[in-house]
Amino acid sequence: MRKTAAMAEHDLLHPPAGRWTPGHKARVVQAVAAGTIALVDIVAAGISIEEFVGWENSFAAFGCKGLRVTEPSRAISLAEQVISRVRELCAERGVAYMLSPGETSIICGQCGMTSYNPHDVQERYCGNCHGLHEDRK
């Protein structure tokens, strides 16, 4: 029996033995780039957007070798860089937090945590620091 495109897509989003190998991740990234798999299907398969974007970035920078999960310190380093950059931006702007366009999320200028909770955004609250941010204007 011949495999249809839908069957091939299903196979890509569900790796054998439930384990994502670098080669399998690379094929998914290439399929999304080619338009044969949509991001909606990626999310429906249980892969977060953040994880998939990480796959895309690693694949673009290092090829299939970049998709290996051998350096957890790389992820920690990236998180530290993001927090550092958020602190810099808040200091430059003289604010304790940053809001996304449309005010759908808030990023704490102290710890770098992002909250999408509408109540946190409205109250300018950081659940990680357990405090309310004051407007400095």
Give the tens place of pLDDT for each residue, 22-48.
999 999 999 999 999 888 888 778 887
Q: How far is CA 50 from CA 43, 46, 54, 132, in A?
A: 10, 12, 6, 27
Q: What percent of the chain has pLDDT over 90?
A: 16
Tell me the pTM.
0.48
Q: Is the pLDDT of residue 7 over 50?
A: no
Query: What gap in Å lies between CA 87 and CA 97, rounded to an integer?
Result: 9
